[in-house]
Amino acid sequence: MASLNTVTLIGRLGKDPEARYFESGSMVCTFTLAVDGWNREGKEPESHWFDVKVWGKTAQTAADWLKKGSHQVGLSGRLEQERWQTQAGEKRSRIVVVAERLQLLGRPGQGQQGGQQQPAPAQRPAPAWQGQDQGFGDEEIPF
């Protein structure tokens, strides 16, 4: 039987990521992600909140680079159901997004009308080949 479990989201962090390290050397990073959407009637904008979990090297990247309000974040991964039992014996569960890929996107307000204008990025040095003769003549250009 075929199945598909894929999630792709773009949103903002609701709080700074929390990193935990295990004796085995592995690492997990958790955070909440707010994704813009609309209410059921489609009349009012609202945020949809997702609990996200990231493992391994991607978790280290998330812990090092992600901060609340610093960037929009794009992620792809899968849904996972966590199950546990309370001390009172009640069974509980929740759905989390297990992110396998993260991508930092624009800063807040970037690309949105009325957003804060961000300072221009620092000038990067030109690539080593830029401005050098590559040895191509006009006759070698195919158009």
> Is residue 133 over pLDDT 50?
no
Residue % of the chain over a pLDDT of 70: 74
Report the sign of the C-alpha dihedral through residues 90, 7, 15, 102, in that order: positive
Q: Is 63 contained in some domain?
A: yes
Look at the block and give the residue holding tokens 């014996």: 89
Can you give the pLDDT at residue 101?
Answer: 93
The mean predicted confidence, pLDDT, of the chain is 79
Number of domains observed in the structure of the chain: 1
Q: Is 91 contained in some domain?
A: yes
Q: Is 138 contained in some domain?
A: no
- Residues contacting residue 91 through CB under 8 Å, at least 6 positions apart: 83, 84, 85
Q: What is the dihedral of CA 135, 139, 140, 142, to 10 degrees?
A: 150
Residue ranges of E strands in 14-90: 18-21, 27-38, 45-55, 72-85
Q: Is 34 contained in some domain?
A: yes
Q: Is 90 contained in some domain?
A: yes
Q: Is 97 contained in some domain?
A: yes
> Is residue 127 over pLDDT 90?
no
Q: Is 113 contained in some domain?
A: no
Report the distance separating Cα 14 and Cα 51, nearest Å.
10
> Which CATH number do you get for residue 11?
2.40.50.140
Q: Is 73 contained in some domain?
A: yes
The parent domain of residue 89 ranges over 7-106
